[in-house]
Structure 1
Amino acid sequence: MTQLTVSLATAATLALAMFTPVLANAAPVKNVVLVHGAFADGAGWRGVYDELTKRGYHVQIVQNPLTSLEDDVASTTRLLDQQDGPTILVGHSWGGTVITEAGVHPKVAGLVFVSALSPDAGETTAQQYEGFAPTPDFVIEIGADGFGFVKPAMFKQGFAHDVSDEQAAFMRDSQVPINMSSFGTKLKNAAWRSKPSWAVIATEDKAFDQAMLVHMAERMKAKITKVSGSHALFITRAKEIADTIDEAAKTTAAM
């Protein structure tokens, strides 16, 4: 009986010794990189930034030039290179296309799509709209140089109907145009095929057909969270987005 007790104790000690290094090597994910979409800049992430930094995350925000997919991916990769460990990469709207391409970076542990596009490798962003309902409240005016703006007279109703008139006016007058040819660029990579993904979808988003957003998220096998909000949910639903990023960080750290 004594011999059996010693053997069990010894076995338990050996098992613990073998298991402990696995726990010690499970690095926490404490870095987050946020990527904005078209017609906006990184300042819109301020609420999400504040939520995450209060929770102890190191957060950096990409400033996309919106001149081409290649240029936006380069801007994102530049910040990913600066991270000191595993990182959650987050994209809003057009930023979803950017993180889909840039997310193959070895430091990216997981992806969060915020009412965002997510083409597959070999697809263009424009193809994602095919077969889905038009969005009459979200009108893009394209200049002779090929850059597009959201039509000023329709900016609030199409982009940000749930912010104040004053904030909507500032967003309208500070919007960053995108080179519309970017939507015709084929992606080389689809990071969501190899990285765990989450999707936050605004149920009152007028920039995309709801069915389109759900289709893209389901194709990625992303964990979906729906929130009431406009296309500007990256501003108006900062806490819910931060909660999803927090969940992504904790989940990937445990993988």
Structure 2
Amino acid sequence: MKHPVLILALLLSTVLPGVSSAAPTPSAAPEAARNVVLVHGAWADGSSWAEVVPYLQAAGLRVTAVQNPLTSLADDVAATRRALAQQDGPTVLVGHSWAGTVISEAGADPKVTALVYVAARAPDAGEDFAALASRFPTMPVRAGVETHDGYSVLSEPAFLDHFANGVPARQAHVLYAVQQPIAADLFAGKTTVAAWRSKPSWYAVSRDDQTTSPDLQRFLAERMKATTVELDSGHLSLVSHPKEIAEMILEAAGKRTR
């Protein structure tokens, strides 16, 4: 007769097919990190992390916010790698939205001990992410994308109502004013590696996201077997829920546990 522990393990593997011994598990203690590199998404800049940074600095972490050019995946990865090169040891790499693609590529850097995705893309190596996303609902913000001279921006109504939903109006208008245009073909870039396949990962799902489908976010988090939290937030949870996002980053840095 099989040993009871073995039977239990077999049952768990049947009931929970997403659990794999080869992947990081939520219960695994994260490696202690002293640095955090924050990578912003499309139609934004590094200032979008302004509400999160003080929490991390108060916990004793060295924080760097990348300024992505948003001209191509290669250019954004290069900017992130330059920031990583300046870190003095173990580093948590964090990406919001489009930057999830960037950190999936740049996160292979040996200094990176953990990855944190905030309402973010998380493509597999070489994956056609647009094809994957097409399996999920198209979100309202897409109707507000305007392209001029090879660059795209969000219209003011789309930005305020769907990109920054849940953010106080005054703050949302400021974010709209500093919106950074993106190359019209930015999202066509494909990664060559998926760092989340070999690094412990965390994911913050935004339940009221009108830019990236919450169901797509859940799919990505489950696929990477990430430690996942769900927030009653729009796409910009790093602005509307900075404390919760900071707490997740601190957990990934080994500074805090649930």
Q: Structures share a fold, TM > 0.5?
A: yes
Q: In the alignment, which residue of structure 2 is the partner of 1:228?
A: 232
With 184-193 and 26-35 compared, the bigger mean Cα shift is at 26-35
Q: In the alignment, which residue of structure 2 is the partner of 1:105?
A: 109
With 157-166 and 141-150 compared, the bigger mean Cα shift is at 141-150
Cα RMSD between the aligned structures? 1.7
What pairs up with 1:55-70 in 2 under 5 angstroms? 55-70=59-74
Q: State the structure with more CA Rg.
A: 1
Which of 214, 219, 223 does residue 223 from structure 2 map onto?
219
Cα distance, 1:157–1:138 mapped onto 2, change above 3 Å: farther
TM score, norm. by length of structure 2: 0.84
1:87 aligns with 2:88: no
Which of 22, 34, 57 does residue 30 from structure 1 map onto?
34
Q: In the alignment, which residue of structure 2 is the partner of 1:202?
A: 206
What pairs up with 1:68-217 in 2 under 5 angstroms? 68-217=72-221
Per-residue deviation at 1:28?
Answer: 3.2
Percent identical: 45
Per-residue deviation at 1:154?
Answer: 2.2
Per-residue deviation at 1:247?
Answer: 0.8
Q: Deviations over 1:153-177 (max 9, x none)?
A: 2211111122222221121122111
Separation in 1, partners of 2:118, 2:86: 23
Q: Deviations over 1:181-209 (max 9, x none)?
A: 12112211110011110001111111011
Cα distance, 1:144–1:163 mapped onto 2, change above 3 Å: closer
Per-residue deviation at 1:215?
Answer: 0.5
Per-residue deviation at 1:79?
Answer: 0.5
Q: Deviations over 1:121-171 (max 9, x none)?
A: 011332331211111244342424231111212211111122222221121
Does the aligned pair in 1 maintain the 2:38–2:63 contact within 8 Å? yes
Instruction: Give the AA of the match of 1:81.
Output: A
Instruction: Give the AA of the match of 2:228.
Output: I
Cα distance, 1:27–1:190 mapped onto 2, change above 3 Å: closer
Structure 1 runs of 4+ with >4 Å offset? none
Separation in 1, partners of 2:150, 2:166: 29
Q: How many correspondences in the alignment?
A: 227
Per-residue deviation at 1:251?
Answer: 7.9
Separation in 2, partners of 1:144, 1:161: 25
With 124-133 and 107-116 compared, the bigger mean Cα shift is at 124-133
Instruction: Give the AA of the match of 2:218.
Output: V
Cα distance, 1:197–1:226 mapped onto 2, change above 3 Å: same
Separation in 2, partners of 1:141, 1:236: 23
Does the aligned pair in 2 maintain the 1:138–1:206 contact within 8 Å? no
Cα distance, 1:121–1:27 mapped onto 2, change above 3 Å: closer
Instruction: Give the AA of the match of 2:189.
Output: T
Separation in 2, partners of 1:209, 1:115: 9
Does the aligned pair in 2 maintain the 1:139–1:158 contact within 8 Å? no
Larger proportion of helix: 1
Unaligned runs of 5+ in 2: 1-29
Cα distance, 1:251–1:215 mapped onto 2, change above 3 Å: farther
